[in-house]
Amino acid sequence: MILDNYRGTWEDEDTSELRKLTREFIANEITPHQERYAEQHRVDRDVWRKAGQAGLLCISVPEEYGGGGGDFRHEAIVLHEQGLAFDDAWGYSVHSSICAHYILEYGTEEQKKAWLPKLASGEYVAAIAMTEPGTGSDLQSIRTKAVRDGDEWVINGSKTFITNGTHCDLVIIVARTSDEPGAKGISLIVAEVGGEDVVGDSGTWATGFERGRVLDKMGMRGQDTRELFFTDMRVPVGNVLGGEAGEDKGFYQLMNQLPQERLAIAVGGAGVAEAAVRAGISYAKDREAFGVPIVKFQNTKFVLAEASTEALAVRTFVDHAIAEHTAGKLSTEKASAAKYWATDMQNTIVDKVLQVFGGYGFMNEYPIARTLVRSDEQKIYGGTNEIMKELIGRGL
């Protein structure tokens, strides 16, 4: 197959070893339990601790803060392997590729030393609370409010669609710290909220913090997604990311980190697309109709030829974006293009390959069926693909 032996220009012996380690971890800790994770709407809390012990968390964070000392290439390996395994349960990217980097890039030295080692070890699980019931991609319209009272912020508001909402010990809250309109007055406040190892177990949560409903999603049912509520929740003033609130600092931080988030989604999309093609080829070689494997039929061959070519095109585009990001050259427009196109093609390829499976493609026991449902969500989170096109259009 044309995808065999493909290797990105940025991959080396170090990333190859990491790929082997990640594949083994997912095969042992994730894949055998996907059905149970879907039923309980989260991975086991112990998955995070084991990932930390294996050195897979915060892999692109410097060693001085407990991380792996790598860069985004190493994050991309883990994300791609998740896609290849059809894993839609483990909220790795939010914890490691996103939240850890907000702290690394904008946190004070004290904040980095306090939080990053705990994220790297799996002692803490991280979430970022951006989306509100009435606010998605339009982050300038957030309503969650933080009012200073002496040495504390008093936070009131609600968030929804929060990945790692059940397990999170640390939440980065996007809140308005002044009455200035739009982007002004937005800050990122980090709250240590206390963990919840088991749904329904109150743990030692911060006062005024409440975990709301576990959200009943159409796909990605094994991923931990929940509502969060803040009612007069008190957080130390020093927990503002960067040490102090001011003007549009929080909005600036969000805008500068979103390209990495979107590229992370694109990497996963490339992995899923390739996994779908490989699953389709394997099935077509085993399944017989009229006494011959269906891969012998011209239509089946043409469908898989198209899908494998498209998956290779996605992989090469995403690899180009990874190389640019590693070199510090990835633009907002190109990150948006990678996110929208990779996830659009993921949907196209999965839908095309599912037809090869016939009736079995409609059965949830086959990963391709579950993947078709979850693929639509890739086009929505991290900013809808329509918003991605708007961002690309602004740079024309």
Determine which one of 81, 261, 274, 377 is catalytic.
261
Give the dihedral of Cα atoms 180, 185, 186, 192; nearest 10 deg.
-130
Q: How many other C-beta atoms lie within 10 A of the C-beta of residue 69?
A: 15
Find the helix packing angle between 249-286 and 298-326, rounded to 10°: 150
Give the dihedral of Cα atoms 129, 73, 338, 315; nearest 10 deg.
-130
**Residue 158 CA neighbour count, 13 Å, CB half:** 9
- Give dist(CA 98, CA 127) in Å, integer: 9
Give CA 231 to chain center in angstroms. 27
Q: What is the DSSP string of 52-73?
A: HHHT-TTTTS-GGGTS----HH
CB 69 within 8 A of CB 62: yes
Q: Amino acid identity, residue 294?
A: I
- Give dist(CA 390, CA 396) in Å, integer: 10
Q: From residue 318, give the alpha-carbon distance in Å to each of 76, 242, 266, 335, 369.
A: 10, 31, 7, 9, 25
Query: What is the 3 state secondary structure string of 201-252?
Result: CCCCCCCCEEEEEECCCCCCCCCCEEEEEEEEEEEEHHHECCCCCCCCHHHH
Active-site residue flag, 261:
yes
Residues annotated as catalytic (active site), given as ranges: 261
